[in-house]
Amino acid sequence: MTDQDAAALDTTLPREQIDVGRPIEWMVDPAHPEIVLGVTYEFSQTSGRKTVWYTSNKRRPKLYVIVKELVFSRR
């Protein structure tokens, strides 16, 4: 992104209208919990939620586990 692109964004949307999603749930593969299949985002202004699936067909998988907090371990 160039400085011109950033300036264009600043002029098109007022800062209070930018609604940033915050991840609140992760859907992981039950057999391989290190593989994230999807994420649910909650938006700061509207409080709406949207789930984005990171599967090959962008659809909900048949099996997944919902995790409220991701914990990373070093091996």
- Tens digit of each residue's pLDDT (9 = 90 or more) over 34-69: 999 999 999 988 889 999 999 999 999 999 999 998
Closest C-alpha among 59, 25, 57 to residue 41: 25
Q: Please give the model's pTM, rounded to 2 decimal places.
A: 0.70
Let me know how long the chain is. 75
Q: Is 58 left (phi over 0), alpha (psi -120 to 50) or beta?
A: left
Domain that holds residue 67: 19-75
In terms of pLDDT, which residue wins out, 56 or 3? 56
In a domain, 48, yes or no: yes
pLDDT at 20 exceeding the cut of 90: no
Is 44 or 74 the better-scoring residue by pLDDT? 44
Residue 54 inside a domain? The answer is yes
How much is the average pLDDT of 8-23?
73
What is the pLDDT, as a whole number, of residue 5?
60
**Number of domains, the chain:** 1
- In a domain, residue 25? The reply is yes
